[in-house]
Chain A
Amino acid sequence: MRVTGKIITMLLLVLSALFGACSDKGRLPKANMEQETAVAEVSIVTVEKRTDPAGTTEFVIPEAAVFRRGALTGVYVVGGDGRAVVRWINPGRSANGELVVLGGLDAGEQVAGSASVGLVDGAPVKAQVSETNERESHE
Chain B
Amino acid sequence: MNEGIAGRIAKQFINSKITPLLMLAAMLVGIIATLMTPREEEPQIVVPMVDIYIPYPGAVPSEVEDRVAKPFERSLTEIPGVDYVYSTAMPDFAMVTVRFKVGEETESSMVKLWATLLKNMDKMPPGVQMPLMKKVAIDDVPVLNLTFWSKERDPFQLRNTARDVADELKKVQNIGDVEIKGGLHRQVRVQLRKEKLQEYNVSALQIARQIQMANSQMTSGNFSRENSEIIVKSGSFLENADDVSNIVVGVYGGLPVYVRDVATIVDGPEEVRNYSFFGWGAASHAKDRGEYPAVTLTVAKRKGADASVLAEKVIDQVDHLKGSLIPADITVTETRNYGETATEKVFTLLEHLFIAIVAVTIVVGFFLGWRGALVNFVSVPITFALTLLVYYLFNYSLNRVTLFALIFVTGIVVDDSIIIAENIHRHFSMKRQPRLQAAITAVSEVGNPTILATFTVIAAVLPMVFVSGLMGPYMSPMPIGASLAMIFSLLIALIVTPWLSYRLLKVEHGGHDEYDITKTGYYRLFRKVLSPLLDNAFMRFVAFAVVGLMLAGAIIMVPMKAVQMKMLPFDNKNEFQVILDMPEGSSLEETSRVAKEISGYLRTVPEVSSYQYYAGTSAPINFNGLVRHYYLRQAPHMADIQVNLVPKGERKAQSHDIAKKVRAEVQKIAMKYDGNAKIVEIPPGPPVLSTIVAEIYGPSQEQQIALAKEVQKIFRETPGVVDVDWLVEDDQKVVDLVVQKERAAMRGVSAEQIAQTLRMSLGGMDVGVLHAGNENDPVTIQLRLPQAQRSTLKDLDGIFVQSQGMGSLTTRLRAGEMVPLSELVKIEEKIQPKSIYRKDLRRVVYVTADVAGVTESPVYAMLEMDKKIKQLKLPGGYSVDPLYTAPPANEQKPAMKWDGEWQITFEVFRDLGTAFAVVLVIIYLLIVGWFQSFRTPLIMMISIPLSLVGIIPGHFIHGAFFTATSMIGMIALAGIMVRNSVLLIDFIQIRRDEGIELKQAIIESAAVRTRPIILTSGAVVIGSVIMLFDPIFQGLAISMIWGGVLSTVLTLVVVPLVYYIAEKKTT
Enumerate chain A interface residues (CB-CB to B < 8 A): 29, 32-34, 54, 56, 58, 69-73, 85-94, 100, 102-105, 120-123
Is the pair B587, A90 in contact by a Cβ cutoff of 8 Å? yes
**Cα–Cα distance between A121 and B289 once the two chains are bound (Å):** 7
15 contacts between A and B (CB under 8 A): A58-B791, A58-B792, A70-B153, A70-B155, A71-B156, A71-B184, A71-B269, A72-B155, A87-B589, A88-B592, A91-B787, A91-B788, A93-B788, A104-B590, A122-B600
Please, which residues of chain B bring their CB within 8 A of the CB of A89? 589
Q: Return the contact of A94 from the options B155, B590, B788, B794 (Cβ within 8 A).
A: B788
Is the pair B289, A122 in contact by a Cβ cutoff of 8 Å? yes
Q: How distant is B226 from chain A, measured CB to nearest CB, in Å?
A: 56
Query: Could you tell me the dominant secondary structure of chain A's interface residues?
Result: strand
B residues 779-814 with Cβ under 8 Å of A? 787-789, 791-794
Q: How distant is A19 from chain B, measured CB to nearest CB, in Å?
A: 24
Q: Is B157 an interface residue (CB 8 A)?
A: yes
Q: When A and B form their complex, which 7 residue pairs have the shortest distance between CB atoms, in order from nearest?
A: A70-B154, A104-B589, A122-B289, A103-B587, A93-B788, A103-B589, A71-B269
Is the pair B269, A104 in contact by a Cβ cutoff of 8 Å? no
Is the pair A54, B794 in contact by a Cβ cutoff of 8 Å? yes
Please, which residues of chain B bring their CB within 8 A of the CB of A33? 287
Please, which residues of chain B bring their CB within 8 A of the CB of A102? 587, 589, 787, 791
Q: Is B271 an interface residue (CB 8 A)?
A: yes
Q: How distant is B245 from chain A, measured CB to nearest CB, in Å?
A: 20
Is the pair B154, A72 in contact by a Cβ cutoff of 8 Å? yes
Is the pair B792, A56 in contact by a Cβ cutoff of 8 Å? yes
Is the pair A104, B587 in contact by a Cβ cutoff of 8 Å? yes
Q: Which residue on chain B has the smallest CB distance to residue A56?
A: B792
Contact A71:B788 (CB < 8 A) given known A87-B593, A103-B590, A122-B289: no
Please, which residues of chain A bring their CB within 8 A of the CB of B788? 91-94, 100
Query: Could you tell me the dominant secondary structure of chain B's interface residues?
Result: mixed
**Cα–Cα distance between A92 and B791 once the two chains are bound (Å):** 7
Is the pair A72, B593 in contact by a Cβ cutoff of 8 Å? no
Number of contacting residues on B, CB 8 A? 35
**Cα–Cα distance between A58 and B593 once the two chains are bound (Å):** 19
Contact A70:B589 (CB < 8 A) given known A32-B288, A92-B788, A121-B289: no
Q: How distant is B919 from chain A, measured CB to nearest CB, in Å?
A: 61
Please count the residue pairs between chain A and chain B whose beta carbons lie under 8 angstroms apart in the complex: 92
Please, which residues of chain B bring their CB within 8 A of the CB of A105? 589
B residues 552-595 with Cβ under 8 Å of A? 587-590, 592-593
Q: Which residue on chain B has the smallest CB distance to residue A34?
A: B289
Chain A proximity mask over B273-295: 1 for CB below 8 Å, otherwise 0: 00100000000011111110100
Is the pair A71, B155 in contact by a Cβ cutoff of 8 Å? yes
Q: How distant is B400 from chain A, measured CB to nearest CB, in Å?
A: 38
**Which of A73, A85, A103 neighbours the largest number of chain B CB atoms within 10 Å of its CB?**
A103
Is the pair A123, B155 in contact by a Cβ cutoff of 8 Å? no
Q: Is B270 an interface residue (CB 8 A)?
A: yes
Q: Is B272 an interface residue (CB 8 A)?
A: yes
Q: Is B888 an interface residue (CB 8 A)?
A: no
Q: How distant is A34 from chain B, measured CB to nearest CB, in Å?
A: 6
Please, which residues of chain B bring their CB within 8 A of the CB of A122? 288-290, 600
Please, which residues of chain A bring their CB within 8 A of the CB of B288? 32, 34, 122
**Cα–Cα distance between A88 and B639 once the two chains are bound (Å):** 14
Q: Return the contact of A100 from the options B289, B293, B791, B793 (Cβ within 8 A).
A: B791
Chain A proximity mask over B797-836: 1 for CB below 8 Å, otherwise 0: 0000000000000000000000000000000000000000
**Cα–Cα distance between A100 and B786 once the two chains are bound (Å):** 14
Q: Is B268 an interface residue (CB 8 A)?
A: yes
Q: How distant is A112 from chain B, measured CB to nearest CB, in Å?
A: 15
**Which of A33, A71, A88, A93 neighbours the largest number of chain B CB atoms within 10 Å of its CB?**
A71
Is the pair B592, A104 in contact by a Cβ cutoff of 8 Å? yes
Q: Which residue on chain B has the smallest CB distance to residue A73?
A: B272
Is the pair A90, B589 in contact by a Cβ cutoff of 8 Å? yes
**Cα–Cα distance between A91 and B269 once the two chains are bound (Å):** 15
Q: How distant is B571 from chain A, measured CB to nearest CB, in Å?
A: 33
Q: Return the contact of B789 from the options A29, A72, A85, A93 (Cβ within 8 A).
A: A93
Contact A71:B270 (CB < 8 A) given known A91-B787, A100-B788: yes
**Cα–Cα distance between A71 and B271 once the two chains are bound (Å):** 7
**Cα–Cα distance between A104 and B155 once the two chains are bound (Å):** 18
**Cα–Cα distance between A28 and B791 once the two chains are bound (Å):** 49
**Cα–Cα distance between A34 and B793 once the two chains are bound (Å):** 45
Please, which residues of chain A bring their CB within 8 A of the CB of B270? 71
Q: How distant is B340 from chain A, measured CB to nearest CB, in Å?
A: 27
Is the pair A72, B588 in contact by a Cβ cutoff of 8 Å? no
Chain A proximity mask over B124-160: 1 for CB below 8 Å, otherwise 0: 0000000000000000000000000000011111000
Please, which residues of chain A bring their CB within 8 A of the CB of B286? 32
Please, which residues of chain A bring their CB within 8 A of the CB of B275? 72, 88
Q: How distant is B188 from chain A, measured CB to nearest CB, in Å?
A: 14
Is the pair A70, B291 in contact by a Cβ cutoff of 8 Å? no
Q: Which residue on chain A has the smallest CB distance to residue B292?
A: A121
Given contacts A69-B293, A70-B155, A87-B593, 16 further A-B contacts (CB under 8 A): A29-B285, A71-B269, A71-B271, A72-B155, A72-B275, A72-B293, A73-B272, A85-B600, A90-B787, A93-B788, A93-B791, A102-B587, A103-B588, A103-B589, A120-B289, A122-B600
**Cα–Cα distance between A117 and B268 once the two chains are bound (Å):** 27
Chain A proximity mask over B403-445: 1 for CB below 8 Å, otherwise 0: 0000000000000000000000000000000000000000000
Q: Which residue on chain B has the smallest CB distance to residue A77?
A: B593
Q: How distant is B273 from chain A, measured CB to nearest CB, in Å?
A: 10
Is the pair A71, B289 in contact by a Cβ cutoff of 8 Å? no
Contact A123:B592 (CB < 8 A) given known A71-B184, A71-B271: no
Is the pair B154, A123 in contact by a Cβ cutoff of 8 Å? no
Q: How distant is A118 from chain B, measured CB to nearest CB, in Å?
A: 13
Q: How distant is B776 from chain A, measured CB to nearest CB, in Å?
A: 19
Contact A70:B269 (CB < 8 A) given known A34-B287, A92-B788: yes
**Cα–Cα distance between A91 and B793 once the two chains are bound (Å):** 17
Please, which residues of chain B bring their CB within 8 A of the CB of A90? 272, 587-589, 787
**Cα–Cα distance between A94 and B589 once the two chains are bound (Å):** 18
**Cα–Cα distance between A123 and B291 once the two chains are bound (Å):** 12
Please, which residues of chain A bring their CB within 8 A of the CB of B272? 71-73, 88, 90
Please, which residues of chain B bring their CB within 8 A of the CB of A34? 287-289
B residues 284-326 with Cβ under 8 Å of A? 285-291, 293
**Cα–Cα distance between A120 and B291 once the two chains are bound (Å):** 10
Chain A proximity mask over B763-791: 1 for CB below 8 Å, otherwise 0: 00000000000000000000000011101
Q: How distant is A33 from chain B, measured CB to nearest CB, in Å?
A: 5
Contact A71:B794 (CB < 8 A) given known A93-B788, A120-B290: no
Is the pair B290, A121 in contact by a Cβ cutoff of 8 Å? yes
Q: How distant is B670 from chain A, measured CB to nearest CB, in Å?
A: 16
Is the pair A123, B289 in contact by a Cβ cutoff of 8 Å? yes
Please, which residues of chain B bring their CB within 8 A of the CB of A93? 788-789, 791
**Cα–Cα distance between A33 and B791 once the two chains are bound (Å):** 41
Q: Which residue on chain A has the smallest CB distance to residue B673?
A: A106
Please, which residues of chain B bring their CB within 8 A of the CB of A120? 289-290
Q: How distant is A116 from chain B, measured CB to nearest CB, in Å?
A: 16
Q: Which residue on chain A has the smallest CB distance to residue B287?
A: A32
Q: Which residue on chain A has the smallest CB distance to residue B786?
A: A93
Is the pair B156, A70 in contact by a Cβ cutoff of 8 Å? yes
Q: Which residue on chain B has the smallest CB distance to residue A33?
A: B287
**Cα–Cα distance between A34 and B154 once the two chains are bound (Å):** 23
